[in-house]
Chain A
Amino acid sequence: KNEVEQSPQNLTAQEGEFITINCSYSVGISALHWLQQHPGGGIVSLFMLSSGKKKHGRLIATINIQEKHSSLHITASHPRDSAVYICADETSGSRLTFGEGTQLTVNP
């Protein structure tokens, strides 16, 4: 059974702090997705990666295929980064299995 686990479930930080969210998956995948969901439900795709590391602005995503683990880092966090961050693995058949999400709150 394919399982995706995220940690922590909830994270509170002060503005400017470096943030890390972790994601572990259980089966071989074709890609790992990081998504951001704001209150109200809209989802934005942040990264899709199958190896190595990707960077976009203050966001960095890494993946270790051997260890079946990925991390999302936010540098110099800001209150506007407050959202739910969700990782999802993509297996054959373009099927995404989602983690439970990490609720991030960044206080000014």
Chain B
Amino acid sequence: EAGVTQSPTHLIKTRGQQVTLRCSPISGHTSVYWYQQALGLGLQFLLWYDEGEERNRGNFPPRFSGRQFPNYSSELNVNALELEDSALYLCASRVMGSPSPQHFGDGTRLSIL
């Protein structure tokens, strides 16, 4: 069984640019979660998508957005990048409808210059 895959693995951008990160969940998983782990900070919840809808959102500004496609893959978009957006962005997926653990991808490391 293929795990959660994220792309790209590394990305370098400059302030003010826009970025799109991608996540493919485990087959059969309908829920996708996005998390941010900035250097020296703990993991923070960003977004939760299930069945193509945004279900919950963390305390992040509107320039962080995303979507989930009919095949349950997901994109995270960040506009007007700021230096503090430099972080590891992790995607996780799970089966909804019953308590189950989240399965994490290896993350995308985003560096803002």
Contacts and interface: CB of A to CB of B under 8 A. Distances in A.
Contacts of A50: 99
B42 A33 contact: no
Contacts of B99: 30-31, 48, 50
Interface residues of A, number: 24
B101 A48 contact: yes
A98 B56 contact: no
Contact of A100 (B42, B56, B103, B104): B42
Contact residues on B (Cβ < 8 Å of other chain), bracket? 20 to 34
A99 B44 CA distance: 10
A97 to B, nearest CB: 7
Contacts, number: 57
A41 B106 CA distance: 6
Interface in A74-108: 86, 88, 93-101
A100 B88 CA distance: 15
A44 B42 contact: no
Interface of B: 31, 33, 35, 37, 42-45, 48, 50, 55-56, 58, 88, 90, 92, 99-104, 106-107, 109
Interface of A: 30-31, 33, 35, 40-45, 47-48, 50, 86, 88, 93-101
